[in-house]
Amino acid sequence: MSRATQTALVRDDRTTYEAAAGAAVGLSGVAFVVGLAALVGAVEIGDPVAGVELSVALGAVLLALGLAVVGFGVASRLGFVDAAPQPSAGVVAAVAFTAIWFAAGVTAAGAAGIGTVGRLGVGTVLGGGAFAVTALPREDVGSTVPAGAVAVLCGLALVTGVVGPGWERALAGYNATLFGDTVVPAVVLFASLATGWSAAKAYGGFGARGRNVGAYVLIYLVVGSILAVLVGLVAFVTAKGLPGLLNGVGVGGETLVRWPFLTNGAGLLADVAGVFPALVGTVWLVIGAVLFAVPTGVGAAVFLSEYAEQGRFTGAVEVATNGLWSTPSIVFGLFGAAFLIPRFGNQKSLIAGMLTLGFMLLPLVLITSREAILAVPDEYRDASAALGVSKWQTIRSVVLPAAIPGVTTGVILGVGRIAGETAPILLTMGGGVLPAKSAAPNVLSGFRLSASPPFVSNPALLEATSALPYQLYALITAGLSGNIRNPQEYAWGLALTLLLVVLAFYAVGIATRYYFRRKLHQ
Amino acid sequence: MSLTTSRTDWRAGIERRLTRTREFVDDADPEALAVVIASMGSLLTAFVGFLLASPWTAVPLGAFLIATGYGWVRHQALVARAVTFAMTTVTLVTLGLIVVFIFAESIPAFRYEAASVFGVSVPGLGMFAQTRWDAVSDPVRYSLLPMIHGTVMVTAIATLVAGPLGVAAALFIAEIAPPRVRELVKPGIEILAGIPSIVYGFIGFTVINPWASDAFALNGGSTYLFVGMVVGLMALPTVVSVAEDALTSVPDVMKNGSLALGATDWQSMTSITLPAAFSGVSAAVLLGVGRAIGETMAATVMLAGIPRISDPLVNVFYGYETLTSLIARGYGSANGVHESALFAAGVVLFVTVLCLSLGSQYIEARMRRRLGGAE
């Protein structure tokens, strides 16, 4: 705070500096995007750009960025611009740059053919140097010089062609080889991150504000990449799966809409192989799991939040619920295989799959229902009790209706999660790789009464049945081949169907939440 | 001294409960009580019958439905209370059954892999004292070490991906994002949690593995590196949502105080919000680690399925087998001790993840107490 007296309130001489730093951030972003494109193969690092190879051009950009970043730091240190740096760049930055320069030293020494001890030595010297440069001088130098030097080093390696197209290095003992095609983009990504952060700090004038800007740039980048991955994944699966999914779709004819991929089995006779049995299997699976888990979970939530006294019992239930929530799905599968299968005819069956998924769904329903019931204001209960309404009547006609939005949302999202589960049904439900249409379970008309125990039976529930995620797994383990015309296209169509089923549940769940929330705030 | 008081407390507690039960029984309508007892008794009988795999299970189950149905019409309040109580015990019973059945099935493998230490035979020690897993050719051994190594490799890489990215995204959602952006990013991350693991595995198998094989000139495309990155992406939503809960539970007055002193947003985050929510955020990372350990399908589809330890130990360019993929791949074709050994792998997984879950719950409870001002 003592600096406040020395610093002018309005810094009018910084506009050029800020513009330059902002441009450096933008250029780093461009380099990052181009590096990413090169990594996924959208562009080749050998492509000509302005008369030189792309990798050389990128190297030149990194070189310029590195020098610019060092320039920002030096300009601030020499007092040409009015920044507000702190005495040191801080421990976090120092440790990060130590690690980076240690790694750079080890790699460079390894490339030069120095032995293990020598490599560690070079790494230690460079890492120590980076620590000293980062931690000891004022912040404006400490957070620019090491970052800029990294970029300069990387840029030099690319410009001089030490690393470039056609470069390769076998990693002795690792059974892998590094090629320029992957190393150059990785180097560009890394160096542009360093310069981008450093330039963002310079843009903010170092100090608290500079750190703010630098951190925000990184966080926005992280969130942007997560969303990009999400959109990319969905778009990729859609693009790959649409030909299979829409194969033979038409309007008119015997039925109103023909969609053979969804209404056919995968037999030899079908003109278009479809996923009907697996789709029906997934539907029944979800219905069975919901019938078991939702009443149980909601009832338990009611008891826990309305009847039970907070004590050892509720604590134990809570711990058990959270424990069940984090139990791996394959362990549920093992449990179903050991517990349910011997009790339902000693073979993989639809009902074993239903109950296994029901056990998985139970903690999700319980946790969300309990939150929803606890969120109902106590005034509601008090008002009802003041009218002389009994406790159960209050729960039934006041608490539960008020909690229904939360419960519904939780159930739908939970169902979306278990509809895509593969591991539990792999062990308990099985089914064929390419089931024919006749393999679709016919649960409703399958119930049989008999005079001997167990009195009620349903063969459809006791048979191994396919479901969408299981069929995808079975196709992959069969090497994406089978007695159908185009197994690759079929598998992608199947993946897209599964994704759409699950995402539909999520979309409905999220939409329900919005609907009820807006209704609540009206 | 303290022992005797706790014992008398305990006795007083039981006595209090007994009196309360007696009062409750005296108050309640005898017919309602009879119905509830009949209903709960038949439910218990049905459960025992199911445990014993008796074909007569349907009889008490039917009796339960009839008694409950009758009671629902005549004595709804009491029956509802009894039934919801029975539903509450389901989670405890399920967890108990999982423990009993998985452990029981794994006993033959633990017996088979007994090894003696100082002349004392310790069952199961052979699974961790040597590195050979071979269920077919002699000597048949069931070491879990190769798979544990694989799980550790995948989980470590996944945590490196999911931890920092997850915490950064949680900070963004909880502190930085303007409301409209948050309403877009939050569902997006929820949807990321919804993409089925087999779809990730399918993309890994058809796209990433061939690409990696080509880009690094590998023998086959299976690598712990990329399996770990994919699993990290899958564990990311768990980290984000739990960490975000922890960050938003920090009282606003603390942040406002810091901002009022002239601190920047980032300063308030690093010196107020993150330290206050530190335990919650670390619980989030622990839960993410648990998810990564238990992730099955992507690992099964992308890994090579050879139970071997890579050489050198930290070689991320090999991808052999994890505990989860071992079970998913081997179950069905295995029998006898081999099948039992798969259950032993399940026991290791279950115990590890349960410990992580308990640890994170303890941390969260402590944080809640502290923010509540009790500590």
Per-residue model confidence as pLDDT tens digits over A264-299: 777 666 677 888 888 888 998 999 999 999 999 999
pLDDT score recorded for residue A8:
47
Q: What is the DSSP string of A108-119?
A: HHHHTT--HHHH
Per-residue model confidence as pLDDT tens digits over A113-167: 777 788 888 888 888 888 888 888 888 888 888 888 888 988 888 888 777 777 7
Q: Are residues A174 and B312, on separate chains, in Cβ contact within 8 Å?
A: yes
pLDDT score recorded for residue A6:
45
pLDDT score recorded for residue B5:
58
Q: Are residues B219 and A338, on separate chains, in Cβ contact within 8 Å?
A: no
Q: Which residue among B77, B84, B197 places its CB closest to the CB of A422?
A: B197
Residue spans per domain, chain B: 2-103, 144-371
Interface test with A, best of B51, B94, B182 (most A CBs within 10 A): B94
For A333, name the nearest residue in chain B, comparing CA atoms only. Answer: B328
Q: Are residues B296 and A330, on separate chains, in Cβ contact within 8 Å?
A: yes
pLDDT score recorded for residue A522:
63
CA-based nearest residue to A345, from A463, A467, A466, A447: A463
CA A383 – CA B116 distance, rounded (Å): 68
pLDDT score recorded for residue A268:
64
Q: Are residues B165 and A222, on separate chains, in Cβ contact within 8 Å?
A: yes
CB contact at 8 A, B194 and A150: no
pLDDT score recorded for residue B59:
84
ipTM, two decimals:
0.89
Instruction: Give the CA distances from residue A376 to residues A105, A128, A373, A379, in Å, rounded to whole numbers and listed in that order.
Output: 60, 58, 5, 9
| Chains A–B, number of C-beta pairs less than 8 Å apart | 288
pLDDT score recorded for residue A269:
66
3-state secondary structure A129-187: HHHHHHHCCCHHHHCCHHHHHHHHHHHHHHHCCCCCCCCEEEECCCCEEEEHHHHHHHH
Instruction: Give the CA distances from residue A64 to residues A14, A141, A171, A400, B286, in Å, rounded to whole numbers and listed in that order.
Output: 21, 18, 31, 65, 42
pLDDT score recorded for residue B353:
92
CB contact at 8 A, A399 and A492: no
pLDDT score recorded for residue A2:
42
pLDDT score recorded for residue A5:
42
CA B366 – CA B146 distance, rounded (Å): 36
Query: Domain B144-371 is of which CATH architecture?
Result: Orthogonal Bundle (1.10)
Mean pLDDT of successive 10-residue segments in chain B (375 residues)? Answer: 60 81 77 85 88 82 87 84 89 92 91 83 83 83 90 93 93 89 87 89 90 82 90 92 87 85 86 86 90 90 86 82 90 85 93 91 82 57
Per-residue model confidence as pLDDT tens digits over A437-462: 777 777 777 777 776 666 777 777 77
Give the residues of chain A that fall short of pLDDT 50.
Answer: 1-10
pLDDT score recorded for residue B375:
43
For B333, name the nearest residue in chain A, comparing CA atoms only. Answer: A427
Residues in chain A: 522
Q: Are residues A499 and B199, on separate chains, in Cβ contact within 8 Å?
A: yes
Interface test with B, best of A217, A222, A226 (most B CBs within 10 A): A226
Q: What percent of chain A has pLDDT over 90?
A: 13
Per-residue model confidence as pLDDT tens digits over A119-129: 888 888 888 88
CA A411 – CA A424 distance, rounded (Å): 19
pLDDT score recorded for residue B372:
67
